[in-house]
Amino acid sequence: MFGIVRTIWDVFRHGFQPRVTRQYPEQPAYLPPRWRGRIILSRDPDGGERCVACYLCAIVCPVDCIALQATEDAAGRRYPEFFRINFSRCIFCGYCEDACPTYAIQLTPDFEMSEFRRQNLVYEKEDLLISGPGKYPGYNFWRVAGVKIGGKDKGESENEAPPADLRQLLP
């Protein structure tokens, strides 16, 4: 009997305690910098697209929501002809960011992507590409990779020794 009265009193007192609800649009939630939200494609410091269309993100994606088509430009640089993410399927697991060898695909602290039409949640490359390097300033895959492209020969990458002359190494 006393327990019942005590419960009622305790519940009544709760009216004078601070509320735990956060009034969301007016009081935005804190999102840490490593929050996994809306996906972007970054550019290297020179302004070129980082993505080399290796398909790793598309393969690792557990819900198969990335679609792209690789192609090559005149200089021999691979890049995606189109790059499409269906955000109505994406679960923001971040696997694509982990898989990417070039830091091209990155997740950002933004989740406010509501749309009235489902179709609008399919983002094309133009929607995904941003102007800067995102979380990795200064990194340029083509400058450190030992791949030969137009304007850069073998051995000309950063920290790369010139190719050894096989005949010189003969005993």
Partner 1 sequence: MVSPHPLVSLLAILLLALTLASGLIWFERRLLAWWQDRYGPNRVGPFGLLQVLADMIKIFAKEDWVPPFADKVAFILAPAIIVVTVLLSFAVLPFAPGVIVSDLNIALLFFLAMSSLGVYSIVLAGWSSDNKYSLLGGMRAAAQMLSYEVFMGLSLMGVVLLAGTFSLNGIVRAQRHLWFIVPQFAGFLLFFIAGLAETRRLPFDLPEAESELVAGFHSEYSGMKFGMFFVGEYLGITLISAMIAILFFGGWLGPGLPPLLWFFLKLFCFLSLFILMRAALPRPRFDQLMAWAWKLLLPLALLNLLVTGALVLAFLPRR
CB contact set of 100 (below 8 Å; sequence gap of 6+):
51, 56, 57
CB 127 within 8 A of CB 118: no
Which of ligand SF4, partner 1, none does residue 4 bind to, with CB < 5 to 8 Å depending on kind? Answer: partner 1
Q: Is 12 in the site for partner 1 (CB under 8 A)?
A: yes
Angle value at C-alpha 136, between 61 and 81, nearest 5 degrees: 50
For partner 1, the closer of residues 8 and 63 by Cβ is: 8
Query: Residue from 40, 42, 43, 65 that binds ligand SF4 (CB under 6 A)?
Result: 65
Q: Is 20 in the site for partner 1 (CB under 8 A)?
A: yes
Query: Residue from 2, 4, 117, 158 that binds partner 1 (CB under 8 A)?
Result: 4
The CB-of-111 to partner 1 minimum distance in angstroms stands at 20
CB 70 within 8 A of CB 55: yes
Backbone φ/ψ region at 67: left (φ over 0), alpha (ψ -120 to 50), beta: beta
For partner 1, the closer of residues 24 and 116 by Cβ is: 24
Residues at the interface with partner 1 (CB under 8 A)? 4, 7-8, 10-12, 14-15, 17-21, 23
